[in-house]
């Protein structure tokens, strides 16, 4: 991020209005023209507020519905939060498809423009670092699943307690062997994808209650990919997918590009994948 010589905040203050709050979506480059989303949360209009050489993308929302008290009352209610978060994401998704964006977290509610700018200004160094880190990049999500759920094989009943114990031991050995084989395949895949990206984040796999699938998720990682490297990254993911299907009974699912949600807090680092694959 190029720092202006003066580095003074250009404040734009909303008219005092106790019935409205300012919701902040994210930061964008001020000198980078791009189409704005038509609407935000609850179809609210989108506008921007200057912040150094960036701009904050915001909406004005009804305080009674989305103010501090509303978040205190409904912030743990997924039925209330989910549509708000979805609308927040849709704005950021539109922005990232037309240029760089630094997402701001939920809840991003402020009583007016001045308080918002003051809050951002208090974290200016962290925001500047985060912007420099993600500028020119997008987030891609990679998940790995088995190609199909294993089907239990029917075997004749054991003829003795010894045969039962031997069978159980053999089954456990087979499971351990399969687990080790998958761990190696998943780790090698992650390392190959991470190579050449700006950063990666190892996230815990989602359970079946979230995915709605019978097959367990074995990998759930995020990769920060330079925009001019996206085709290379996607081509590599396709090659790795074909290899995993043929050799390990696994498949890769890639989604994106997303706003760089996983990379805004601090510079990530590769983590150990041991224990992640089950």
68: pLDDT strictly greater than 80: yes
Cβ-Cβ contacts under 8 Å for 21 (sequence gap 6 or more):
60, 61, 62, 63, 66, 67, 68, 109, 110, 111
Nearest CA-CA partner of 182 in 227, 217, 132: 217
Q: How confident is the model at residue 269 (pLDDT cuts 50, 70, 90)?
A: very low
- Contact criterion met (CB below 8 Å) for 278 and 180: no
98 and 26 inside one domain: yes
248: pLDDT strictly greater than 50: yes
Q: Give mean pLDDT, residues 117-140.
A: 95
Give residue-wise pLDDT tens across range 18-34: 789 999 999 999 887 88
Lowest mean pLDDT among 80-84, 111-115, 160-164, 226-230: 160-164
Q: Give mean pLDDT, residues 181-208.
A: 92
Q: Mean pLDDT across the chain, nearest whole number?
A: 84
Q: How confident is the model at residue 242 (pLDDT cuts 50, 70, 90)?
A: very high
Q: How confident is the model at residue 171 (pLDDT cuts 50, 70, 90)?
A: low
Give a yes or no: residue 8 inside a domain.
no
83 and 173 inside one domain: no
Of 134, 165, 196, the residue that ends a domain is 134
130 and 142 inside one domain: no
- Contact criterion met (CB below 8 Å) for 49 and 56: yes
pLDDT at site 32: 78
Split into its structural domains, the chain has a count of 2
pLDDT at site 274: 47
Give a yes or no: residue 183 inside a domain.
yes
pLDDT at site 167: 54
Give a yes or no: residue 189 inside a domain.
yes
187 and 83 inside one domain: no
Give a yes or no: residue 13 inside a domain.
no
94: pLDDT strictly greater than 90: yes
Give a yes or no: residue 1 inside a domain.
no
- Contact criterion met (CB below 8 Å) for 147 and 250: yes
pTM for the predicted model, two decimal places: 0.80
Q: For residue 242, what is the domain's CATH number?
A: 3.30.70
Q: Write out the residue range of the structural domain in which residue 122 sits.
A: 20-134
């Amino acid at each position: 991020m190029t720092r202006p010589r003066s580095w003074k905040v250009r404040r734009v203050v909303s008219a005092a209005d106790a019935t409205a709050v300012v919701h902040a979506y994210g930061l964008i480059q001020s000198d980078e023209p791009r189409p704005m989303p038509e609407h935000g949360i609850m179809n609210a209009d989108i506008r921007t507020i200057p912040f150094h050489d960036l701009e904050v993308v915001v909406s004005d929302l009804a305080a009674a519905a989305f103010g501090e008290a509303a978040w205190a009352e409904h912030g743990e209610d997924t039925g209330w939060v989910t549509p708000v978060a979805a609308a927040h994401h849709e704005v950021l998704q539109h922005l990232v498809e037309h240029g760089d964006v630094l997402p701001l977290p939920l809840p991003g509610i402020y009583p007016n423009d001045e308080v918002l700018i003051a809050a951002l200004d208090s974290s200016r160094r962290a925001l500047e670092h985060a912007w420099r880190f993600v500028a020119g990049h997008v987030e891609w999500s990679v998940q790995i699943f088995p190609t199909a759920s294993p089907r239990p094989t029917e075997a004749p009943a054991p003829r003795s307690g010894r045969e039962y114990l031997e069978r159980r031991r053999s089954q456990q050995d087979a499971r351990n062997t399969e687990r080790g084989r998958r761990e190696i395949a998943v780790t090698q895949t992650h390392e190959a994808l991470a190579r050449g990206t700006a950063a990666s984040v190892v996230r815990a796999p989602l359970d079946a209650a979230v995915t709605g699938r019978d097959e367990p998720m074995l990998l759930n990682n995020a990769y920060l990919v330079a925009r001019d490297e996206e085709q290379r990254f996607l081509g590599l993911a396709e090659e790795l997918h074909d290899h995993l299907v043929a050799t390990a009974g696994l498949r890769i699912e890639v989604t994106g590009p997303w706003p760089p949600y996983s990379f805004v807090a601090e510079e990530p680092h590769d983590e150990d994948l041991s224990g992640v694959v089950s």
